Amino acid sequence: MLKSIIRKEILNNLFSYKFSIIIILSTILILVSIFVMYGDYCLALDNYEILQQESEGTIAVIRPTPLSIFAKGLDENLCRSYGSGFGGQISVSSKQQSVNDLFKLFTTPDLLYVVKVILSLCAMLFAFDIICGEKEVGTLRQSLSNSLKRPILIFGKWVGGFISFILPFFIAVLLGTIFVTLSPMVEMSARNWAKLGLFLLSSVVYLAVFFSLGLLISCLTHHSSASLVFSLFVWAIFVFLIPNLGNILAHQLVRIPTVQQLELRLEKSSIRRDFEKHRIDKSQDSRIDNRIRAENEKFIDDYLNRLNRLVKVSRNITRMSPLTAFTLLATDAMGTGVAEERRLKRAILQHRDILRDWDDEKGDRPVFSYRRSSVKEVLGRGGLGNFLILILFNVLFFAGAYVIFLRYDVR
Amino acid sequence: MLKTIIKREFLNNIINLRFMVGLVLCVIITVACIIILAHDYRQKIEDYYLRVNLKDEILSNYATRGRIIAMYPDQKPPERFRPLIIGISGDENVESFYDNPLPILFPPFDFLFIVTIIMSLLAILFSYDAITGEKQRGTLRLVISNSISRTKVLLGKFIGGTASLLIPFILSLLVGALYISMNPSIHWDGSAWAEFILLTAASVTFITLFYLLGLMISAFSRYSSTSILNCLFLWVLLILVIPNLCPYISAHLCPIPSIKETKRKVSEISIRSKAIAREYMRESVKRFRSHYGKLWSEFESMELGGIGSWYLGRKDAGPEHREAAHQRAAADPEFKAMMDAFREEFEKVQKEQLRLQGEPTKKIWNELKTKAALQTKLAKNLACISPFANFVYVARDLTGTGLRSMEYFVQVQREYYTQFDKYLDKQVQKAEKTDPTFTWKSFLDLSDRPRFVFKEEALKDKLIEVLPYWGILVLFNVVFFVAAFAGFMIYDVR
């Protein structure tokens, strides 16, 4: 019986107008996004080649990952050139796109954005009338008048509906991936394939959350018009409101000076150091250097402690929305996330210390080498937690839909 | 009759579930957003004054000619509309090793978001079944069978529908305005309130545009279920796809040279010009040595009093050497003449080096700026096919939170720099006259310096800038209404 329901649901969806619209939308969007982001990746590669040739004063520069085509995240930040500034501070080069101001107004249209915003909406549109729609046309009553158990019906509807929704997504992603891998600029290692696999898996789980949520709302309402209104309301809250408002709220809970203030303090230290050095005996230079360095480190430590706390608080608040858990997991999986950024910064600071102690008489200048995290490392460093949060959302929404459907008035 | 239709449409809407949902959503989100952003604004103001004081402290205690260039006051106060709209000159745009990555992953939430995402969605939800819904219920047939023109029906639906849609929006804005006026840390003058009213008017234009989009789709559909899908499809394209793709498309169509590559070219020019200057300086030293003989050797033992040491690849002279050279010059006119001639020679070399470096460097940067401006302009014009982009330009430029305000700030800053440069030259000349040992590293008294004051751009100028984009929004309204009208004229009401 379960098979028949799944089959009926898939066939029903395949012939519906909704399916045509969503397949057109997702295919166009995914292909255009991958094509545009591929061009962006080529630009980033060009920039990297130039940065790499520049060795004077450069501590580190890393190659952009081809996975940024799918989820750009912080890759533009990560791939800047890191150099040594005044007092051993790390200076960063400008981002390539910092000259086109319009990038500051709009969002990056990568696959991550398409999945987290647009396809999540499509998932809800697929599911919002799964139960109440059938009730309105009267087929739900007829189905349940047979010897069909409600758990089997709702499970069959979920599976059939979700398969028909996720199919166009996979076809479009497959086409996009073939285009990317066939292009000469992209080299996908086995590690990258594993990461892409994790990204796709988390995308499916994330979309399933919204599908289950749509099902839950459909079970809670008796008219598809009401279900649609509630679905859009809840979608706006989960996708836009909680992640954005949560960040602002976290800023209120953890007071942190702006990065401009920090940079200004460091600049002041540097100026003061030069000023004082010029006015006293040269033998005192190292004493001044050490004192100023200790002061700077104190500022920076205090700032970084606050920043870490802010990131933690913000992450905890915003993870009330599946979008945050998915964004963090997806960007970390692709090596363009917050965890990767921290890891890279730690490596750069360590390398700076090595360079500080390096004596050119002892041998060649140490070269900075960095490898982005593997899937195992990503899962170990909070990725698994985010994945479990997505599963939990799924279980919660589906269980809610199941319980409500058991008592649903089908008349 | 028109009045009756408006009234009926209005009442029908406000007893509907979507009105209640819209009201709750709008009021809660807008008020929560304004309260949180107002609190954030207070923190930004505190941070701004801290930075201003810090710069003041540096300029008062550690100002030297050599490092003063890095210390030009360039602090932009937080935008006065920050309790409503977050400006684009935030922390996320600062190039720093210690920047906060979260705003890149989760862009901030403000009034613009409420209007562009939530209100546009609500507008579509209010209008997608304005015609199809009535047709499905059978009431459209009854209405049209009376002696009423279709134009009046459509107009009545538009006025009644938008009125019921705008109630939650205006109500939440009124509550927000009340909070802003009562908040002691926000001081809005008449021009700010005028901008607020204009912003509300622009938002209304944007919201009615999406209401009309829904109405138009409804006039071309037979079923509400088809209408809503088409509406959401267009909404996704207009709000989420087109504006975000445009900067990338323009980057492909109109590429710009890499910043790092540009910096490398500039650095090459600087190295070349410095090498020429050094060579010239070494020649001068040879000439002075052969001309002055012993007197020159004595001057060299004083590390040339710190004059041109960098160009000659020597260590900078200490204060004791400068003092010794100064005293020796005061005692011996011949020594003083040699020292003055050498200083003159050094200044000539310095000027020549600046000439060699200045023009080509300026040309390279100008080339980058021109190309970047072209790319930005292309992206901006491409994005105009989306009402979202037009509204963002209007709202941001009107409230001083967008690209134009950044350009305006740079312009104000440049004017201040010119003024400050003149003041600085005067101070340096004064110091050189009173203290012969004065160098680039000596302390400069800048206590009577001109202070940087940022004033908002005049409302008239802002309005002139935003009118074309506002015009496009109005045009979208007209096009959608005309299309809805055309669709409804041939609509089969049976």
- The residues that bridge with A91 in the sheet, in sequence order, are A83
Give the pLDDT band (50/70/90) at residue A333.
very high
CA distance B247 to A24: 23
Write the single-letter amino acid at A225: S
Look up tokens 């009431």; give the residue: B139
Judged by CB atoms closer than 8 Å, whether chains meet at A101 and B406 is answered as yes
How far apart CA B115 and CA B120 sit, in angstroms, is 6
Distances (CA, A) of A135 to A6, A139, A216, A410: 18, 6, 15, 6
pLDDT at B92: 47
Report the amino acid identity of residue A91. Answer: S
Using 50, 70 and 90 to split pLDDT, how confident is the model at B222?
confident
- Residue B69: pLDDT band (50, 70, 90) is low
Indicate yes or no: CB of A244 within 8 angstroms of CB of B244. no
Give whole-number Cα distances, B118 to A235, A238, B31, B180, in Å. Answer: 11, 13, 14, 22
**Which of B425, B435, B479 is closest to B322 using CA atoms?**
B435
Tell me the helices (H) and strands (E) count for chain A, helix number first.
Answer: 17, 3
Is B102's CB within 8 Å of A247's CB? yes
* Four-point Cα dihedral B155, B159, B165, B168, nearest 10: 180
For residue A378, the SS3 value is: helix
Task: Give contacts of B440 with chain A, Cβ < 8 Å.
Answer: none
Chain centroid, CA B393 distance in Å: 11
3-state secondary structure of A303: helix
- CA distances, B15 to each of B9, B21, B164 (Å): 10, 11, 10
Tell me the mean pLDDT in the region A61-90. Answer: 84
Query: Which residue out of A43, A56, A100, A267 would a mutagenesis test of the B interface target, given it has the greatest number of B Cβ atoms within 10 Å?
Result: A100
Contact A109 B70 (CB under 8 A): no
Supply A114's token pair: 């398409």
Q: Which residues, listed in sequence order, are joined to residue A57 by a DSSP beta bridge?
A: none
Q: Is the pLDDT of residue A323 over 90?
A: yes
CA atoms within 13 A on the CB side of B120: 26
Q: How far is A147 from chain B (nearest CA, A)?
A: 31
Confidence band of A401 (pLDDT split at 50, 70, 90): very high
Confidence band (pLDDT; 50, 70, 90) for B391? very high
Per-residue pLDDT tens digits for A154-170 = 899 899 999 988 988 88
pLDDT at residue A100 tops 70: no
CA distance, residue A101 to nearest chain B CA (Å): 6
A210 Cβ contact list (under 8 Å, min separation 6): A120, A121, A123, A124, A127, A235, A238, A322
pLDDT above 90 as % of chain A: 19
Residue A253 in contact with partner chain B when CB distance is under 8 A = no
Q: Which helix (H) or strand (E) holds B388?
A: helix B387-399
pLDDT of residue B448: 83
Torsional sign, CA A272, A275, A276, A281? positive
> What tokens does B223 get?
């079923």
DSSP B64: B
Residue B470 has pLDDT above 60, yes or no: yes
Residue of B310, B100, B358, B267 whose CA lies nearest to A58: B267
Q: Is B372 on the interface with A (CB under 8 A)?
A: yes
Instruction: Express each pLDDT in B293-318 by its tens digit.
Output: 888 888 777 777 777 776 666 666 66
B49 touches chain A (CB under 8 A): no
Interface contact B123, partner A, CB < 8 A: no
Question: B318 — contact with chain A (CB < 8 Å)?
Answer: yes
Residue A172 vs residues A31, A50, A169, A177, B388: alpha-carbon distances, Å: 7, 34, 5, 9, 27
Segment B71-120, tens digit of pLDDT? 655 677 888 898 899 877 654 455 677 777 777 777 777 888 889 888 89
Angle between helices B387-399 and B333-383 (to 10 degrees): 140
Contact A106, A375 (CB under 8 A): no
For residue A357, with 0-12 CB atoms within 10 Å meaning exposed, 13-18 middle and 19 or more buried, which class applies?
exposed
Interface test with B, best of A258, A301, A308 (most B CBs within 10 A): A258
Determine contact: B375 vs chain A, CB below 8 A: yes
| Whether residue A238 has pLDDT greater than 60 | yes
Sorting pLDDT into bands at 50, 70 and 90, what band is A304? Answer: confident
Q: Does A55 touch chain B (CB under 8 A)?
A: no
Average pLDDT in chain A: 84
Lowest mean pLDDT among A120-134, A151-165, B335-349: B335-349
- A360: pLDDT confidence band, cut at 50, 70 and 90? low
Which positions 392-411 of B are in contact with A (Cβ < 8 Å)? 392, 396, 402-403, 406
What is the full DSSP assignment across A164-180?
A: HHHHHHHHHHHHHHHHH
Question: pLDDT above 90 covers what percent of chain B?
Answer: 17
Q: pLDDT higher for B137 or B461?
A: B461
**SS3 (DSSP) at B188:** coil
Query: Can you give the C-alpha Rg of chain A in angstroms?
Result: 26
Task: Give the nearest partner residue to A331 out of B58, B105, B240, using CB atoms.
Answer: B105
Using a 10 angstrom Cβ sphere, with 0-12 exposed, 13-18 middle and 19 or more buried, the burial of residue A386 is: buried
Rounded distance between C-alpha atoms, residue B110 and residue B83, angstroms: 8
For residues A129 and A90, is the Cβ–Cβ distance under 8 A? no
A360, A299 contact by CB (below 8 A): no
- Quickly state the pLDDT bin for A355 (edges 50, 70, 90): confident
Which of B70, B103, B260 minimises the CB distance to A81? B260
CA A12/CA B3 separation, integer angstroms = 44
Q: Which phi-psi region, left, alpha or beta, contains residue B422 (left: φ > 0; alpha: ψ -120 to 50)?
A: alpha
Of B442 and A151, more confident = A151
- Give contacts of A117 with chain B, Cβ < 8 Å: 240
Residue A393 — pLDDT band, cuts 50, 70, 90?
A: very high
Return phi, psi of residue B449, to 5°.
Answer: -65, 155
B253-268: string of b/e by CB count within 10 Å (b at 16+)? ebebebbbbbbebbee
Q: Which of A51, A92, A311 lies closest to B95 in CB terms?
A: A92
Does the beta-carbon distance from B95 to A98 stay under 8 Å? yes
Residue A278 near residue B440 (C-beta atoms within 8 A) = no
Per-residue pLDDT, averaged over A70-86, amounts to 83
Query: Which residues pair with residue B428 across a beta bridge?
Result: none
> Lowest-pLDDT range, B84-93, B184-193, B262-271?
B84-93
Which residue of chain B comes nearest to A280, CA vs CA? Answer: B319
Residue owning tokens 């941001």: B396
Burial class (CB in 10 A: 0-12, 13-18, 19+), B343: middle
- CB of B241 less than 8 A from some CB of A: yes
User: Which helix H or strand E contains A192, and what residues bound it?
Assistant: helix A190-220
Task: Please enumerate in sequence order all residues whose Cβ is within 8 A of that of A133, keeping only pairs 6 or more positions apart, or say none.
Answer: A218, A224, A227
Q: Using the 8-state DSSP alphabet, how is residue A97 labeled?
A: G
- Report pLDDT for A213: 95
Residue type, B85: I
For the segment B190-206, the average pLDDT, to the nearest whole number, is 94
| Crossing angle between the packed helical segments A17-53 and B224-235, to the nearest 10 degrees | 10
Indicate the pLDDT class of residue A55, thresholds 50, 70 and 90: low
CB-based contact A116:A323 (threshold 8 Å): yes
How would you classify residue B190: left for phi > 0, otherwise alpha for psi between -120 and 50, otherwise beta?
A: alpha
Tokens of residue A243, six digits: 């992640």
The whole-chain average pLDDT of chain B stands at 84
What tokens does B427 get? Answer: 């101070």
C-beta separation of A324 from A318 below 8 A: yes
pLDDT tens for each residue of A22-44 = 888 888 888 888 888 888 888 88
From the list B39, B98, B376, which residue is nearest A259 (CB)?
A: B98
Lowest mean pLDDT among A80-89, B33-42, B362-371, B485-494: A80-89
Is the CB of residue A224 less than 8 Å away from at least one CB of chain B? yes
Q: Is the pTM of this model over 0.95?
A: no
Residue A7 has pLDDT above 60, yes or no: yes
pLDDT of residue A103: 66
- Put simply, the chain A residues between 149 and 168 with a CB less than 8 A from any chain B CB are none
Angle (CA) A239-A78-A65 rounded to 5° is 85
Separation CA B444–CA A133 (nearest Å) = 79
Q: Out of A244, A255, A267, whose CB is closest to B106? A: A244
Q: DSSP code of B492? A: -
pLDDT of residue B482: 94
